[in-house]
Structure 1
Amino acid sequence: MNLYPFQKISFLLVITSTICLLYIPRSLGAEDDEQYLNCSASFQCANIPNIGYPFWGSSRPNYCGFPEFKLNCTGEAPVISFQDKDYRVLDINQSASTLRIARTDYWNNVCPVSPGNTTIEVNHVEYASDVQELLLFYDCPPLNIPLPIQLTSQFNCSINSTANYINYFVTQNLTNSGLTNISSTFGTCNTTVTALVSQSASENLAMNSTKDNLVAVLDSGFGLKWDASNNLCKQCNGTGGQCGYNTSTAEFTCYCKDGPNPSNCAGKKKEIAIGLAVGGAILFGIFIGFYIYSFIQRKKKKLAALAQSKEIPTPLTSKSVATPSTNLSQSQSIPSYPSFTSKSDYDKGSTYFGVQVFSYTELEEATENFNPAKELGDGGFGTVYYGKLQDGRVVAVKRLYENNFKRVEQFMNEVEILTRLEHRNLVKLYGCTSRRSRELLLVYEYIPNGTVADHLHGKRVESGFLSWPVRLSIAIETADALAFLHRNDVIHRDVKTNNILIDNDFCVKVADFGLSRLFPNDVTHVSTAPQGTPGYVDPEYYQCYQLTDKSDVYSFGVVLIELISSLQAVDTNRHRHDINLANMAINKIQNHLVNELVDPLLEFETNHVVRGMATAVAELAFRCLQQERDMRPTMDEVLDGLRAIQNEDLGSEDGQAVVLDIRADDVGLLRNMPPPLSPDSAGTDKLVSSSTPPSSF
Structure 2
Amino acid sequence: MTTEYPILVFLALIGVLPLLVAARAQSCNRSCGSKTLPHPFGFSSACGIRLTCTNSAIFISEFPVQFVNPDTVTLTITAKCNRSFQTLSSLFTHNYAPTSRNAILLQNCSEDMPPCTLPANIGVQTQFESNDCEANNTSTNNISCYMEGKKRAFIDYHNVTKRNCRHFVSSISAESFNDSALSLEVQVVELGWWLHGGCQCSESGNCTQLVSPKTGQQSFRCRCNEGYEGDGYRAGTGCRKVSSTCNAKRYMSDKCGGTTRVATLIGGVVTGAVIMIVVGLVCCCIRRRSKLKARHSAKRRLTEATGNCSIPIYDYKEIEKATNSFSDKQRLGTGAYGTVYAGKLHGSDDWVAIKRIKHRDTESIEQVMNEIKLLSSVSHPNLVRLLGCSIEYGEQILVYEFMPNGTLCQHLQRERGDGLPWQVRLTIASETAQAIAHLHSAINPPIYHRDIKSSNILLDYDFKSKVADFGLSRLGMTEISHISTAPQGTPGYLDPQYHQCFHLSDKSDVYSFGVVLVEIITALKVVDFSRPQDEVNLAALAIERIGKGRLDEIIDPFLEPHSDAWTLSAVHKVAEMAFRCLAFHRDMRPSMMEVAAELERIRTSRWELSEEKYSTASSDVSSCSSSSNLSEKPLSMTVKKTGLESRGLLVLPAPAGSFNSMEMVRNNSPVSVQDPWLSEQSSPSSSSLLNNVIQ
TMscore range, shorter length? 0.5 to 0.7
After superposition, the Cα gap between the structure-2 partners of 1:590 and 1:106, relative to the gap in structure 1 and judged at 3 Å, is farther
In structure 1, C-alpha distance between the alignment counterparts of 2:610 and 2:365, rounded to whole Å: 61
- 1:617-658 residue CA offsets vs partner (Å, 9 max, x unmatched): 101000111122222111111111212222347997998699
Residue from 488, 497, 505 that aligns with 2:462 = 505
1:418 and 1:514 in contact (8 A); partners too? no
After superposition, the Cα gap between the structure-2 partners of 1:214 and 1:154, relative to the gap in structure 1 and judged at 3 Å, is closer
In structure 2, C-alpha distance between the alignment counterparts of 1:644 and 1:572, rounded to whole Å: 36
TM-score by length of 1: 0.53
Amino acid in structure 2 at the alignment position of 1:511 = A
Residue from 131, 136, 157 that aligns with 2:112 = 157
Superposition pairs of residues 122-137 of structure 1, within 5 angstroms: none
- 1:52-108 residue CA offsets vs partner (Å, 9 max, x unmatched): 776943447999979995566xxx999956585665999xxxxxxxxxx9655889x
2:425 and 2:520 in contact (8 A); partners too? yes
Residue from 522, 534, 556 that aligns with 1:565 = 522
Indicate yes or no: 2:598 matched with 1:641. yes
In structure 1, C-alpha distance between the alignment counterparts of 2:110 and 2:519, rounded to whole Å: 38
1:448 deviation in Å? 0.6
Indicate yes or no: 2:438 matched with 1:481. no
1:662 deviation in Å? 4.7
Amino acid in structure 1 at the alignment position of 2:114 = I
Match of 2:447 in 1: 490
Match of 1:367 in 2: 323
After superposition, the Cα gap between the structure-2 partners of 1:192 and 1:451, relative to the gap in structure 1 and judged at 3 Å, is farther
2:88 and 2:168 in contact (8 A); partners too? no
In structure 2, C-alpha distance between the alignment counterparts of 1:53 and 1:38, rounded to whole Å: 21
Match of 1:425 in 2: 382
Q: What is the aligned length?
A: 448
Superposition pairs of residues 197-276 of structure 1, within 5 angstroms: 214-215=166-167
Amino acid in structure 1 at the alignment position of 2:473 = S
Residue 558 of structure 2 aligns to a residue whose secondary structure is helix
Match of 1:380 in 2: 336
After superposition, the Cα gap between the structure-2 partners of 1:526 and 1:68, relative to the gap in structure 1 and judged at 3 Å, is farther
After superposition, the Cα gap between the structure-2 partners of 1:560 and 1:89, relative to the gap in structure 1 and judged at 3 Å, is closer
In structure 2, C-alpha distance between the alignment counterparts of 1:394 and 1:553, rounded to whole Å: 32
1:491 deviation in Å? 1.5
2:352 and 2:401 in contact (8 A); partners too? yes
Superposition pairs of residues 26-41 of structure 1, within 5 angstroms: none
- 1:404-431 residue CA offsets vs partner (Å, 9 max, x unmatched): 5448677445423211111100111111
After superposition, the Cα gap between the structure-2 partners of 1:51 and 1:603, relative to the gap in structure 1 and judged at 3 Å, is closer
After superposition, the Cα gap between the structure-2 partners of 1:639 and 1:173, relative to the gap in structure 1 and judged at 3 Å, is same
Match of 2:659 in 1: none
1:533 deviation in Å? 2.0
Larger radius of gyration: 1
In structure 2, C-alpha distance between the alignment counterparts of 1:66 and 1:106, rounded to whole Å: 18
TM-score by length of 2: 0.53
Q: Which of 528-537 and 406-415 deviates more? A: 406-415
Indicate yes or no: 2:383 matched with 1:397. no
After superposition, the Cα gap between the structure-2 partners of 1:543 and 1:155, relative to the gap in structure 1 and judged at 3 Å, is farther
Residue 530 of structure 1 aligns to a residue whose secondary structure is coil
Indicate yes or no: 2:569 matched with 1:612. yes
1:511 deviation in Å? 1.0
In structure 2, C-alpha distance between the alignment counterparts of 1:682 and 1:635, rounded to whole Å: 35
In structure 2, C-alpha distance between the alignment counterparts of 1:630 and 1:115, rounded to whole Å: 37
Specify every segment of 5 or more residues in structure 1 that has no aligned partner in the other structure, as ranges. 1-30, 91-100, 119-134, 137-151, 163-168, 194-210, 225-247, 249-342, 690-697
Match of 1:442 in 2: 398
- 1:387-443 residue CA offsets vs partner (Å, 9 max, x unmatched): 10122232111222343544867744542321111110011111123x566523221
In structure 2, C-alpha distance between the alignment counterparts of 1:451 and 1:170, rounded to whole Å: 32
In structure 2, C-alpha distance between the alignment counterparts of 1:63 and 1:579, rounded to whole Å: 39
Residue from 632, 649, 652 that aligns with 1:663 = 649
Q: Percent identity over the alignment? A: 36
Match of 1:470 in 2: 424
Indicate yes or no: 2:531 matched with 1:574. yes
After superposition, the Cα gap between the structure-2 partners of 1:536 and 1:678, relative to the gap in structure 1 and judged at 3 Å, is farther
Amino acid in structure 1 at the alignment position of 2:438 = F
After superposition, the Cα gap between the structure-2 partners of 1:418 and 1:377, relative to the gap in structure 1 and judged at 3 Å, is same
1:660 deviation in Å? 9.5
1:385 and 1:398 in contact (8 A); partners too? yes
2:485 and 2:504 in contact (8 A); partners too? yes
Match of 1:626 in 2: 583
Residue 312 of structure 2 aligns to a residue whose secondary structure is strand
1:550 deviation in Å? 1.3
After superposition, the Cα gap between the structure-2 partners of 1:682 and 1:621, relative to the gap in structure 1 and judged at 3 Å, is closer
After superposition, the Cα gap between the structure-2 partners of 1:683 and 1:639, relative to the gap in structure 1 and judged at 3 Å, is closer
1:386 and 1:685 in contact (8 A); partners too? no
After superposition, the Cα gap between the structure-2 partners of 1:430 and 1:87, relative to the gap in structure 1 and judged at 3 Å, is closer
2:458 and 2:465 in contact (8 A); partners too? yes
Q: Which of 563-572 and 153-162 deviates more? A: 153-162
Residue from 550, 556, 559 that aligns with 2:513 = 556
Amino acid in structure 2 at the alignment position of 1:215 = H
1:42 and 1:52 in contact (8 A); partners too? no
2:484 and 2:502 in contact (8 A); partners too? yes
After superposition, the Cα gap between the structure-2 partners of 1:516 and 1:87, relative to the gap in structure 1 and judged at 3 Å, is closer
1:538 and 1:555 in contact (8 A); partners too? yes
Alpha-carbon RMSD across the aligned residues, in angstroms, is 5.4
After superposition, the Cα gap between the structure-2 partners of 1:573 and 1:645, relative to the gap in structure 1 and judged at 3 Å, is same
